Chain A
Amino acid sequence: MSTTALSDVTTPTTTPTATSPTAGAHARIPVRRLVTVELRKCFDTRSGFWLLVGTGLAAVAATVLVIAFAPADQLSYGTFTLAIGKPMSVLLPLIALLSVTAEWTQRSGLTTFSLVPHRGRVILAKGIAMLTVGVVAMVLAFPLGALGNIAGTTIHGLEPVWDQTVTDLAYYALANTLLMAVGFMLGVLIRASAGAIVTYFIYAFVAPTLLTFLAMGQEWFRNAQPWVDPNYSQDALFHGGFSAEQWAQLGVTSAAWLVAPLTIGLVTLLRSEVK
């Protein structure tokens, strides 16, 4: 049998049947719906669910620990919100990171990106979903801190100290949001859960310690650190009261360590092959 002859075989002509399973135009999928789906995807797996529950439990535990162990004269609203913010600042970025990397590491992206063949819209929806998670976390953290403050001072028989202004809380919320954005950026850039998590921990825990040592030993770095170390300026946000120079420093470090790698990550993500 000759193979060349076969490739010339005329293609079949069939009469298409009148009734197709469906016909007609469909509306474009709105981003709002994608956000709802992406939010659901963060918490509908066992790992996602426990990460969420763990964040909540850690916040409550932090409150209880402050009441139990903090010196009575240091009990204030600010003490509580800072304590609650610690576990949140560790765990919320992981949720953001995993929301992106799971599509590649768990390969669910094959379905996600064929249902919505515009990856930019999916990533945008993920970003909005993560922002929503961050806002909800703050909305829960502030009353939790207030409850802790009232409970703690009542137990110690003191008047509660409300040392946080709305501006302070805004700084606090911005700090948490930036940390989540860093997690999200690492997810977009690395697109593999294990690698992104390791990088995140190096960024959030290893690097700051090393850079602190460097700053202690080297004067030139001590002066340069606010302009090059993203953790330095982000951490300062938790304490509020930024000067114009501090905003400039935050802007410079965020542009270099958040916006630039996020842009690179997005460009490669849009071009890459989903397998």
Chain B
Amino acid sequence: MLTVERLTKRYGSAVAVDDITFTARPGRVTGFLGPNGAGKSTTMRMMVGLTWPTAGAATVLGRRFTDLPNPGREVGVLLDASAQHAGRTGREILTLAAQTMGLPASRVQEMLAKVSLTDIEAQRRVRDYSLGMRQRLGIATALIGDPQVLILDEPANGLDPAGIRWMRDLLRSYADRGGTVLLSSHLLHEIEVIADDLVVIGHGRIVAQGTKADLLASTGTLVQTRDGATLTTALDSAGTTYTGHGVRGATGITTLRVDADPEHVGQHAARAGVALLELRPAEGAGLEEMFLELTAQTQREGAVA
């Protein structure tokens, strides 16, 4: 369990993180999504005591991170896979983490196996690692203390498609065993595949949060029929809202965007005896459109889409 309450960071007059409140729950993967510069990394650094918040607090398992006696045993942290002494070998970096936490040396070998770094790779210095290998090493460092909570900043960066799948499976099984995962990303597809819950941030503020299912469902359903009047009557009587996308003159086909899932629309159509021409989730039901829309005002890049 990871709780962030009214967390704020100001640099002079600039506000990097503005009154953020959310909770990452056990057994769930919480995606922390936002464009570059939105304040994700600053928020994560504040969670682990590397940056002092201007206001607010973050607690892990009910305690502030700095009050944990041996933080690595309770919270696995990966903030930047490249932030390692380039002259150390991968094995040495894991050994240092294990020694700091007071773990047996055998954990190092276990972790290397878990993240699929071979013995030869582990003997190489980190300066010769690809970004993907550094991410694997960083994940190993985060997991070595067998923590209950994981805080990962852009862990999928630099991973190839197979690596991303591996990461997804790893985090899924970790959460399924009751672990709490918070991972940030600006890679929309990535988060959509991995996360159960979403916290979307833009320009330091939370612009949306909830379960992935809820957030995606809210984009609605597109339905087409020749019998628009009967369908709208049925939807009205069911109390379901919709917006008309017009009637194509010659064919008389009505298109509606309904604020409900396709099953709901289909059932009401069937009950009213309306034949449907098309019934599908509204276009852009994917997270990408939602993400771009939600962060449009606050995004630095402007019109990316």
Contacts and interface: CB of A to CB of B under 8 A. Distances in A.
A53 interface: no
B86 A106 contact: yes
A102 interface: yes
Interface in A17-42: 17-23, 25-29, 33-34, 36-37, 40-41
A273 B45 CA distance: 9
B178 A6 contact: no
A136 interface: no
Contact of A6 (B69, B72, B210): B210
A110 B99 contact: no
B261 interface: no
A27 B85 contact: no
A6 B84 contact: no
A131 B10 CA distance: 39
Contacts of A102: 85
Interface string A121-149: 00000000000000000000000000000
Interface stretch (B19-27, B162-170, B223-231, B267-275): B19-27
B211 A12 contact: yes
Interface in A25-63: 25-29, 33-34, 36-37, 40-41, 44-48
B121 interface: no
A59 B257 CA distance: 82
Contact of B49 (A6, A15, A117): A117
B28 A12 contact: yes
A17 B215 contact: no
A223 interface: no
Contacts of A114: 48-50, 71-72, 77, 79
Given A19-B178, A110-B83, A114-B77, A273 B92 contact: no
A1 interface: yes
Contacts, number: 172
Contacts of B209: 6-7, 9, 11
A22 B101 CA distance: 14
Nearest to A271: B52
B214 interface: yes
Contacts of A7: 206-209
A12 B210 contact: yes
Contact of B66 (A19, A47, A109, A117): A117
B25 A14 contact: yes
Contacts of A45: 85, 87-88
B102 A3 contact: no
A27 B70 contact: yes
A21 B50 contact: no
A6 B100 contact: no
A17 B177 contact: yes
B148 interface: yes
Given A36-B99, A117-B65, A12 B197 contact: yes
B146 interface: yes
Contacts of A41: 85, 96
Contact of B50 (A10, A22, A108, A273): A273
Given A45-B88, A47-B87, A274-B50, A9 B28 contact: no
B125 A110 contact: no
Contacts of A48: 87
A111 interface: yes
Contact of B27 (A14, A27, A113): A14
A115 interface: yes
A33 B52 CA distance: 26
A27 B100 CA distance: 12
Interface string B4-33: 000000000000000000110111100000
B76 to A, nearest CB: 10
B232 interface: no
B178 A16 contact: yes
Given A9-B214, A9-B215, A19-B178, A107 B52 contact: no
A222 to B, nearest CB: 46
Given A9-B215, A12-B25, A26-B69, A111 B207 contact: no
A82 B100 CA distance: 38
A108 B85 CA distance: 6
9 contacts: A1-B218, A1-B290, A1-B293, A6-B207, A9-B218, A17-B27, A21-B179, A106-B85, A274-B45
Given A11-B209, A107-B80, 6 more contacts: A1-B218, A12-B214, A14-B25, A19-B178, A21-B174, A23-B148
Interface of A: 1, 3, 5-7, 9-12, 14-23, 25-29, 33-34, 36-37, 40-41, 44-48, 102, 106-111, 113-118, 271, 273-275
Interface of B: 1, 22-23, 25-28, 45, 48-52, 65-66, 68-74, 77, 79-80, 82-88, 92-93, 96-97, 99-102, 125, 141, 146-148, 174, 176-179, 196-197, 206-211, 214-215, 218-219, 290, 293-294
Sorted nearest first, the 4 A-B pairs with minimum C-beta distance are: A9-B210, A45-B87, A107-B83, A117-B49
